[in-house]
Homo-oligomer: A and B are copies of this chain.
Amino acid sequence: MIDCDVHNDWTSAEVLLPYLDANFRDYLKRGEIPGPRGSFPHAHRPWLHPEGFKRTDIVAANDAPPGSDYELMREHLLDRYDVEYAILLGEEAIEVSTLGNPHYASALARAYNDWMIETWLLLDSRFKGSIVVAPQDPTGAAEEIRRVGAHPDIVQVLVSSGSYRPYGDPVYHPIWEAAAEMDLPFAAHLGGQGGLNYNPIGGGPTTFFWETHALLCETGMAHVASLIAHGVFEKWPNLTFVLIECGVAWLPGVLWRLDADYKALRKETPWLKKLPSEYAREHIRMTTQPLEQPKDRQHLWNVLEAIDGKNTLLFSTDYPHWDFDDPTQVHIPPE
């Protein structure tokens, strides 16, 4: 069992200081938002989570954040559920996408990657790492992918699903080119709301976390359509896009609509050679948590059948977050 969504946190963003470009150290240490969270402006959105994002039963020593304690993670997750590999995504690192300053954003991403490689990946042979990049700095992101992408325990490139443009846009193609060159999947995880990025909900700012959480698939929907439409998978046929924590039940409807509209409007995208649903089947993967929970499980299983879930879903727990999926309780078809 491979867990594709595990959050390794830091005790404080100041752990990044030794890894950060010297000219930015002062910015992280004394600038706005010093301390544990650091320059990762996670909270610039209209709502606040009424429970907090972390599981409250995970209490690390010295009140360190859940996810920062390897021993607890081993006990709660790796050993308890016999995890073969756990893919680490960091906690706040993807929030660099919200910063208007692309230089600082890329510097923070580099510092996080080096810290993660030199600390977390050495702790346990079951850990695999994700390279965090700042998508608003496509050249810098591509350089970073080439700089550390050959590390044997790095398994993907990671950004937030919140974005300034949907990720198929040519502005991001340097990133795709580098990922293809290093043969790494490109993953987007829920986050990156506010700051530089567009509102993640189409109808405007939302009020409640509850309401918002049900709609956070909207960024993922945009990326799926955009990546297919811009021909990213024609240009780089070895690329895989992994959508993390965005649910799955919306995918069939989007693909049905893309397929039908493509038949009528293909002149907009003459570089495509297959139906959108065929690109999706070959190049797009989605993690399970938080998997939709209809009253009648057959309704979800119908969805999984429509997207060939057996071959397109990746298992994930989202440890140590509040909506963690216990691997023994996931409601997917037994086979």
Contact = CB atoms under 8 A, between A and B. Distances in A.
Interface in A196-254: 197-211, 213-215, 217-223, 225-226, 228-230, 247-250, 252-254
Contact of A203 (B51, B200, B203): B200
B253 A217 contact: yes
A45 to B, nearest CB: 13
A165 B211 contact: no
A271 to B, nearest CB: 12
A85 interface: no
Contacts of A266: 210
A261 interface: yes
A16 to B, nearest CB: 28
Contacts of A168: 207
A152 interface: no
B300 A302 contact: no
A91 B127 CA distance: 57
A76 to B, nearest CB: 20
A299 interface: yes
Contact of A249 (B213, B247, B253): B253
Contacts of A268: 50, 208-210
Interface string A260-271: 111011111100
A149 to B, nearest CB: 24
A40 interface: no
A169 B207 contact: yes
A52 to B, nearest CB: 12
Interface in A267-324: 267-269, 290, 292-296, 299-300, 302-303, 305-306, 322-323
Given A253-B303, A260-B290, A202 B219 contact: yes
A156 interface: no
B203 A261 contact: no
Contacts of A200: 202-203
Interface in A155-181: 161-169
B306 A294 contact: yes
A293 to B, nearest CB: 4
Contacts of A225: 206, 211, 214-215
Nearest to A196: B204
A258 to B, nearest CB: 5
Contact of A221 (B218, B222, B229): B218
Most chain B C-beta atoms within 10 Å of own C-beta, residue among A163, A164, A210, A266: A210
Nearest to A225: B211
8 contacts: A161-B203, A198-B202, A199-B202, A214-B225, A215-B225, A247-B257, A249-B253, A256-B293
